[in-house]
């Protein structure tokens, strides 16, 4: 059973809206100053508070009062405003002094990574303003070393590993003792075949916050500081998993080709572009982009549970109180509505907030101003309790990848062009 079909509109990948969003993201980070030193300290304390018995478990607890003042945003007028962390608590229905437990704690932890958007157009000045790197296949996670231990958490907020590491204050050893103010926060991908954490970014080092530093500075610290430790060495008693820094390339033809096809010690799963002026923001950002094809990724388009590409594109949407079906964007994009009679018949399973899986039918999507507004979607069932609703950006990428994909030739042509101010978007 499915929501009523909507008349489709031909999809074009000339999405000037995407560039406006990138420009706006850069403008906002220049106008605002975020106090993330306190946020980093609270994150380190919260992530390292659990014991090894909580690995993958449900015993997560966060003191909301500890995080109530984690963010302070000041505009040009100097007045403080509540921001991301306070809004997180508000969305969870919490007040100062409450304890985040279980699913709510994991929800808070799940918002601590900078997430790339899918690349559905080619940014102007790609060659001059962007870096490029290979993306390893594996589990994306935030890694924190603090109080003599190291904890990694997956995107859904669950603990992946609780282990000793050679990161500062990452293990309890006889020869090394650190103050509680010494901690590190890293953005990593855990690659299971070689038991290695590949470091994508660095948010905090020995208690010093790098959230508001630009990408160029963060990458400099990431390479130089990790090289000073034993974290890059093979695993040992006090260093259970090896860390490795990913090569970061200038986005010229040579760098693009290296990120795309140069030999790497891991299974490649696409390539990541990141704007060299971007700060480390929490959540999805247009200043970091993910791109794939069948050469640099085993799964350039979404597959089913058996690893096969289904006949129809599949999307995951969240069910609203009014029966609406929306993406995980902020604000959400509504793509359809479940019939009330159907919801009443299945009210035990189809509760508001549940993520549901749909096929995109032959009539496809209706796209206006670079955004999907309606879709010919057909209900397939529940998406699983750990699933997160897709963003409109991902839906557009998957839609284009099946019909008129952005190719490596398009990317090479963009960085070869001498017109850095031009719009290299391709029409489909």
pLDDT digits (tens, 9 = 90+) for 233-280: 998 888 999 999 999 999 999 999 999 999 999 999 999 999 999 999
Domain locations in the chain as residue ranges: 116-291, 303-408
In the block, which residue shows the tokens 């302070």?
A: 72
- pLDDT at residue 238 in the model: 85
- pLDDT at residue 93 in the model: 47
For the chain, percent helix, then strand, then coil, each to nearest 5? 25, 30, 45
Token pair for 78: 């100097």
- pLDDT at residue 174 in the model: 56
| Sheet order of strands, 314-319 included | 334-337, 324-326, 314-319, 355-368, 371-382
Largest separation between any pair of C-alpha atoms in the chain: 69
Token pair for 142: 């935030």
CA dist., res. 202 & res. 306, Å (int):
35
Ranges of the chain with pLDDT below 50? 1-15, 48-58, 65-85, 88-89, 91-97, 418-428
- pLDDT at residue 58 in the model: 44
Q: How many CB atoms lie within 10 A of CB 182?
A: 19
- Coil, helix or strand at residue 287: strand
Instruction: Answer yes or no: are the C-beta atoms of 119 and 290 closer than 8 Å.
Output: yes
Q: Among 398, 391, 134, 119, which Cα is nearest to 269's? A: 134
CA dist., res. 276 & res. 287, Å (int):
9
**Hey, what CATH class is 116-291 in?**
alpha beta
- pLDDT at residue 189 in the model: 98
């Amino acid at each position: 059973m499915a929501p009523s079909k909507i008349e489709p509109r031909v999809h074009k990948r000339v999405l000037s809206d995407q560039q406006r969003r990138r420009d706006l993201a850069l403008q906002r980070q220049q106008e605002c100053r975020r106090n993330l030193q306190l946020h980093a300290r609270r994150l380190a304390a919260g992530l390292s508070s659990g014991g090894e018995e909580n690995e993958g478990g449900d015993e997560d607890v966060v003191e909301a009062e500890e995080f109530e003042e984690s963010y302070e945003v000041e505009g040009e007028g100097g007045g403080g405003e509540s921001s991301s962390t306070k809004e997180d608590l508000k969305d969870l229905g919490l007040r100062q002094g409450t304890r985040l437990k279980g699913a709510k704690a994991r929800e808070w932890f799940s918002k601590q990574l900078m997430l790339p958007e899918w690349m559905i157009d080619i940014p102007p000045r790609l060659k001059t303003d962007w870096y490029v790197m290979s993306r390893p296949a594996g589990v994306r996670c935030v890694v924190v070393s603090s109080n003599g231990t190291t904890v990694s958490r997956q995107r859904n907020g669950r603990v992946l590993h609780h282990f000793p590491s050679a990161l500062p204050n990452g293990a309890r050893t006889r020869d090394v003792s650190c103050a509680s103010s010494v901690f590190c926060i890293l953005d990593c991908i855990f690659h299971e075949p070689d038991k290695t954490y590949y470091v994508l970014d660095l948010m905090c080092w020995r208690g010093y916050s790098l959230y508001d530093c630009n990408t160029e500075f963060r990458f400099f610290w990431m390479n130089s500081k990790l090289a000073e430790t034993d974290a890059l060495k093979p695993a040992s008693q006090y260093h259970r998993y090896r860390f490795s820094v990913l090569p970061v390339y200038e986005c010229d033809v040579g760098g693009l080709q290296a990120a795309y096809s140069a030999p790497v010690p891991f299974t490649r799963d696409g390539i990541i572009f990141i704007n060299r002026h971007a700060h480390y923001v929490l959540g999805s950002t247009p200043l970091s982009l993910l791109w794939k094809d069948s050469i640099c990724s085993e799964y350039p388009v979404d597959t089913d549970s058996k690893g096969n590409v289904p006949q129809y594109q599949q999307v995951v949407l969240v069910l609203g109180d009014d029966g609406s079906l929306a993406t995980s964007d902020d604000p959400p994009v509504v793509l359809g509505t479940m019939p009330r009679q159907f919801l009443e018949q299945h009210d035990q399973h189809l509760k508001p907030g549940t993520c549901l899986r749909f096929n995109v039918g032959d009539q496809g999507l209706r796209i206006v101003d670079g955004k999907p507004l309606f879709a010919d979607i057909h209900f397939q069932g529940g998406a699983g309790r750990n699933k997160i609703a897709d963003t409109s950006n991902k839906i557009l990428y998957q839609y284009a990848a099946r019909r008129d994909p952005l190719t490596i030739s398009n990317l090479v042509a963009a960085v070869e062009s001498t017109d850095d101010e031009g719009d290299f978007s391709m029409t489909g």
